[in-house]
Amino acid sequence: MIIITGSLHARSADVLPELLALAREHVERSRAEPGCIEHGVAIDAEDPLRLVFFERWVDAAAIQAHFKVPASREFVQRAGTLVDRRPELAIYDATRQPMP
């Protein structure tokens, strides 16, 4: 399983509704992709301009396919016009079984 965490920081409260709408569309679309186990977005409780993403995918192939979806690339481009800093993204390979 692959886990992805990430965040976007809106450049102002004025653009937050548009950024959140884009994020929700992206999440809904991603949930329908093959290999998506979980995909969500939330507003950071300590920074209301920061959106936090959490994703789980069955394997690296599913992620590679997700990154190639034109709508995913469009989301990144459109969101990039609404943020005031580089997006954060971390990818973790969780294929090992958790300890009991």
Q: What is the dihedral of CA 49, 51, 52, 57, to 10 degrees?
A: -170
pLDDT for the residue 35: 97
The number of domains in the chain is 1
Query: What count of residues does the chain have?
Result: 100
Residues 6-45 pLDDT 10s: 999 999 999 999 999 999 999 999 999 999 999 999 999 9
Task: Count the helix, strand and coil residues of the chain and give each as a percent rounded to the nearest 5.
Answer: 35, 30, 30
CATH of the domain at 47: 3.30.70.100
Q: Is the pTM of this model over 0.95?
A: no
Query: 98 lies in a domain?
Result: no
Query: 38 lies in a domain?
Result: yes
Residues 6 or more apart from 16 whose CB is under 8 A from it?
10, 48, 49
Element housing 37 (H / E): strand 36-43
